[in-house]
Homo-oligomer: A and B are copies of this chain.
């Protein structure tokens, strides 16, 4: 039940883009350096995000990537689904075209995996890049207040 680096790196990279919103296209190299990710590997991940419309690219010198739409309209769930495939702890309850199983109607364990899938989806779809930016801001002021009292 682990996320691969694809999902983790992808969320990091998208959040990095959100943090640099309005600064024009951001080069992958700078994202990779800030987040400590292999640039070439990140390239592959971002390629998928671009095809899904989550980022837009600008080629050539001074090029780079920007968010495909407003941060409030990009959910962490959207990112994870692109990079890790449809949410599903097991294939028979996949969000899209679940694997057929003859016993599905009478399967008790299936109900469990459905609940797990839905609870994960609820969490990931309730968090947007915008809400993450707000959280980061809050974390920042909390920390500076804390420093102040010490």
Chain A contacts to B: CB under 8 angstroms: 1-3, 7-8, 11-12, 15, 76, 80, 84, 87-91, 105-106, 108-109, 111-113, 115-116, 119-120, 122-124, 127, 132, 135-136, 139-140, 143
Contacts and interface: CB of A to CB of B under 8 A. Distances in A.
A8 B109 contact: yes
A33 to B, nearest CB: 15
Within the oligomer, what is the number of copies of this chain? 2
Contact of A112 (B84, B123, B139): B123
Contacts of A12: 109
A120 B116 contact: yes
Contact of A89 (B2, B91, B109, B113): B2
